[in-house]
Amino acid sequence: MIRNLANPQPAGAPLTLLVTRQDGPWLQVSLPVRPNGSTGWVRGSEVRTARVTYRVEISTAAHRLTLYRSGRLVATFAAATGTGGTPTPLGTFFLTELLAPTNPGYGPYAYGLSAFSTVLTSFGGGPGQIGLHGTSDANSIGHSSSHGCIRLSNGDITTLARVLPLGTPVNIT
């Protein structure tokens, strides 16, 4: 199946994909679409690639986000994750966009992930995309309290927004 993705994305961010493999002139990429885990192939000559030195690991059990750069631990942050009814999807995803939300409930910054809720097909007028964002409810941090998104303190998401580029891999377990 051939699928065209908008560039820039509807919110204005450049289309960003995560390269998972190369086969000659072709690059296999993770796609920011349903179902989670979708991949496709693009010609390497038709895209611009960049090496990303950061990696994010999120443990839903420990409610913890761990940041690595060039394989070395940089920092850990307490996080809120999804509830039993609206779990945070598990797998390897990537950062697709960075927004300054107009809803103060999401804090000063929100990254869109390539992940989508496994139970919600829409949320807040959007397609059920999972975010990594701040929060107006600091007491939720460290608990299973979101609709599937990963919440950080506003200070922590501000720290990440200053360093993490789009395309950063995010592994959620």
Q: Is 147 a catalytic residue?
A: no
pLDDT tens, 70-89?
A: 999 999 999 999 999 999 99
Per-residue CA distances from 84 to 143, 146, 148 (Å): 11, 10, 9
- Sheet order of strands, 64-69 included: 72-78, 64-69, 54-59, 169-172, 91-99, 110-116, 129-133, 150-151
Residue of 63, 143, 147, 149 marked active site: 149
pLDDT tens, 11-41?
A: 889 999 999 999 999 999 999 999 999 999 9
Residue of 63, 133, 143, 147 marked active site: 133
Q: Is 63 a catalytic residue?
A: no
CA distance linking residue 129 with residue 32, whole number of Å: 9
Domains belonging to the chain, first-starting first, are 55-172 (2.40.440.10)
Q: What is the mean pLDDT of residues 119-145?
A: 95
